[in-house]
Amino acid sequence: MSVPGGSTPSPVAAGPGADPAQDSRALAAVAELYHRYLTGVLLSLVQRAGTARAAEVVFRTFRRQHLEKFLPGLDKLGLRHLPHAVACAQYHYLSNALGGVSVEWLPETDRKSWVSYRPPRWVFDGTAVCGVPTEVSRAMLRGWHAHNGVSLGNPCLGFVCTSQTTDGGAGLVGYYVEEDQELSEDERLRFSPGELAPAVAGELSTVDWSADRLAKVERNYAMEYVRSIVPELVAVLGPADGGFVGRI
C-alpha cells in the first residue's frame, strides 16, 4: 500500500542498447517472484507459527510500511489538500493501482469515502486466500488503515470494513469516515458487514508513464512488502524461527 518506486535497488540492470520490451518482461518476472514469495511466506507463517503470531507479524509489517510511506505518499500523490477521508481513500486507490492491484475508489461525501480491493486479493495471490485466517487479514487493516487518522492528527477519522474474502465477502471493501467525536483505539477499525458501497466508482487521473517505468513500479511494490516483512519475522519469531518460516 506504499507508493511504489523510490530507492529500492534494482536487481535488473539494463545495458546499453537493451530491448525495452525485454526489460519490461524481466521486471515483470522479478515482480512476480517477489509477489509469490510474499504469499508463500504468509502461508508458511500461518502454518508454522500459528494464527496469533502470524497476525502479529502482519500487523507490524503494515504498521512499518504505514509509518515509512503514508505521509510522504500523500505529498507525492498531491492529496494533502483534500478532506482526510477522501485523501485516505484516494491514496489507497492510487498507490495500489500503480502497484498493479485491482482497486476502486468510491466517493460518497467529504467525510465518508470508500475503497474497494477487487477479488481476487493481490496480497494472497488467488486461491491462497483459502489458507489465510481472517485474523491475519484484519491485522493488515489494524496496521495501516486504522492508523491513518493518528498520522494525520485527526482523532475522529476511522476505517469501517464492510466486506472481506476471509469473512465470506468479496475482496476487501470499506470506507474512511470522519465522525463527530474522537475515536478510541478500538473504534479506529470497525467491521460492519452488509453495508453497501456507492454504485459508481470515482475516476482519478492516471499517470502518463512508459511501460518500462510502470513495470519498475510494480516490481518495487512487491519488493517493498518483502523488505518490510523479513525484519518483522525476526522481531516476532526470533532469528532461528523467523529464518525457518522465511525459507519456504
Residue 200: the pLDDT is 76
Average pLDDT, the chain: 91
Domain boundaries, the chain: 21-246
pTM of the model: 0.88
Q: Determine the Cα–Cα distance for residues 225 and 92; give it in Å rounded to an integer.
A: 15
The β-bridge partners of 190 are 160
Residue 214: the pLDDT is 87
Average pLDDT of span 101-116: 96
Nearest alpha-carbon partner for 151 in 91, 66, 225:
66
Does 172 have pLDDT greater than 90?
yes
Name the strand (E) or helix (H) holding 244: helix 211-246
Share of the chain above pLDDT 90, in %: 77
When pLDDT is cut at 50, 70 and 90, the band that residue 11 belongs to is very low
As given in the structure block, the three cell numbers for residue 31 are: 515482480
When pLDDT is cut at 50, 70 and 90, the band that residue 166 belongs to is very high
pLDDT tens-digit readout, 196-217:
998 878 877 666 777 888 899 9
Does 77 have pLDDT greater than 80?
yes
Residue 20: the pLDDT is 66
Quick one: angle between helices 20-49 and 51-76, nearest 10?
A: 140
Q: Do residues 104 and 9 make contact, with C-beta atoms less than 8 angstroms apart? A: no
Query: Which of 16-25, 115-124, 129-138, 208-217 has the highest mean predicted lDDT (pLDDT)?
Result: 129-138
User: What does the H/E/C string look like for 56-76?
Assistant: HHHHHHHHHHHHHHHHHHHHH
